[in-house]
Amino acid sequence: MKILVCVKQVPDSWAEKKLTPAKVLDRESADAVLNDLDEYAVEEALRIVEANGGAEAGHTITLLSMGPERAQEALRKGLSMGADNALHVKDDALAGSDALTTSRILAEAIKRENPDLILTGTESTDARMSVIPAMLSERLDLPHLSFAGEVHVDVNARTIKSKRMTDEGVEAMESPMPAIVTVIEKINEPRYPSFKGIMAAKKKSISELSLADLGVAPSEVGSSGAWSAVNDFALAPARGAGVKVTDDGNGGGALVEFLAEKRLI
């Protein structure tokens, strides 16, 4: 079984983010890390392999990322967790691509690989659109098991069962393979790369793919090929300094007074 995991490099989710005058995310001012939510997808891939006889049984995990040169660091992180190899789609023309383009590029790369299972995170913590996995499902015409809080793969029957967890409740889902599974952060606890894992990752291969390799014209991607544009942006007005009281035995009473003053009760 061949598993492919889509991972993105993003600014550290703990950092304050801002836009540059060119109206794109300032990626320089914050540390770049593997999208936290994609770590769960990498971890789940490792667990699926472990639950099905391990690497000895011929299962492999390939990471796929579209991003600038340094997205390699995020791929190395995933490799040090235990993935086998990685694909890096890199091309200067891709800067400023929107979700439609990103999903198209990822879909082209996935088609070349022909995996049995594709795993993704629920959302990249920078763009927060949460649409790439559904777009991939549409482009590749593959079933999509979204918001998976639990996944079971039956390699012989080539079926997947998952629990879809949303605010509507929990839904048991079933699908044939190949399929796309999007995992939520409740599914597992991602492992820390071991020293051995980090050393091994240095020797694992990251293959680079250009637009030409994927047969896509540079004019169709990047900000000029985008289907939407940012007109302008501004810092939100800071919330006015609020009132802070220390509970002296009447903190709850003061809270009620405030709500009443604001006509919230």
Partner 1 sequence: MSGSDIFVFVDHSNGTVAKTASELLTLARSLGEPHAIIAGSAGDFELAKSTLSDFGAKSITLLESSEINNHPSSAIARALADLASTKNPRAILLPSTARGKEIAGRLAVRLEAGIITDAIALSSELVATQSVFGGSTVVHSQVTKGCAIVTIRPNSIEAAPAPASADINSIPVSASITAKITAREPAVRGARPELSEANIIVSGGRGTDGNFAPIEELADVLGAAVGASRAATDAGWYPHSHQVGQTGKTVSPQLYIACGISGAIQHRAGMQTSKTIVVVNKDPEAPIFDIADFGVVGDLFAVAPQATAGIKARKG
One character per residue 30-59, x = contact with ligand AMP (rule: CB under 6 A) = -----x-xx--x------------------
Query: Which of 114, 156, 167, 205 forms a contact with partner 1 (CB under 8 A)?
Result: 167
Contact between 155 and partner 1 per CB under 8 A: no
Please enumerate in sequence order all residues whose Cβ is within 8 A of that of 188, keeping only pairs 6 or more positions apart, or say none: 40, 43, 44, 47
Residue 94: other Cβ atoms inside 10 A? 22
One character per residue 47-86, x = contact with partner 1 (rule: CB under 8 A) = ----------------------------------------
Q: DSSP for 30-57?
A: S-EEE-HHHHHHHHHHHHHHHHTTTGGG
Interface with ligand AMP by CB under 6 A: which range of 72-80, 127-135, 216-224, 229-237? 127-135
Which of residues 37 and 83 has its CB atom nearest to ligand FAD in the complex?
37
Contact between 128 and partner 1 per CB under 8 A: yes
For helices 71-81 and 195-203, what crossing angle results, to 10°?
120
Q: Which residue has the tokens 């890096």?
A: 88
Contact between 11 and ligand AMP per CB under 6 A: no
Q: 25 near 9, Cβ under 8 Å?
A: no
Which of residues 127 and 155 has its CB atom nearest to ligand FAD in the complex?
127
Binding footprint of ligand FAD on the chain (CB under 6 A): 13, 36-37, 125
Please enumerate in sequence order all residues whose Cβ is within 8 A of that of 169, keeping only pairs 6 or more positions apart, or say none: none
For 78, half-sphere exposure in the C-beta direction (CA atoms, 13 angstrom radius) is 39
Which of residues 80 and 124 has its CB atom nearest to ligand AMP in the complex?
124
Query: Which of 25, 100, 127, 254 forms a contact with ligand AMP (CB under 6 A)?
Result: 127
Per DSSP, the three-state class of 188 is coil
Dihedral of alpha carbons 252, 256, 257, 261, sign: positive
Containing H/E element for 5?
strand 2-6
247, interface contact from ligand FAD, partner 1, ligand AMP, none, CB < 5-8 Å by kind: partner 1
Contact between 123 and ligand AMP per CB under 6 A: yes
Give dist(CA 64, CA 149) in Å, integer: 22
Which of residues 38 and 108 has its CB atom nearest to ligand FAD in the complex?
38
Contact between 96 and partner 1 per CB under 8 A: no
Q: Footprint of ligand AMP on this chain (CB under 6 A)?
A: 6-8, 35, 37-38, 41, 64-67, 102, 106, 120-121, 123-124, 127-133
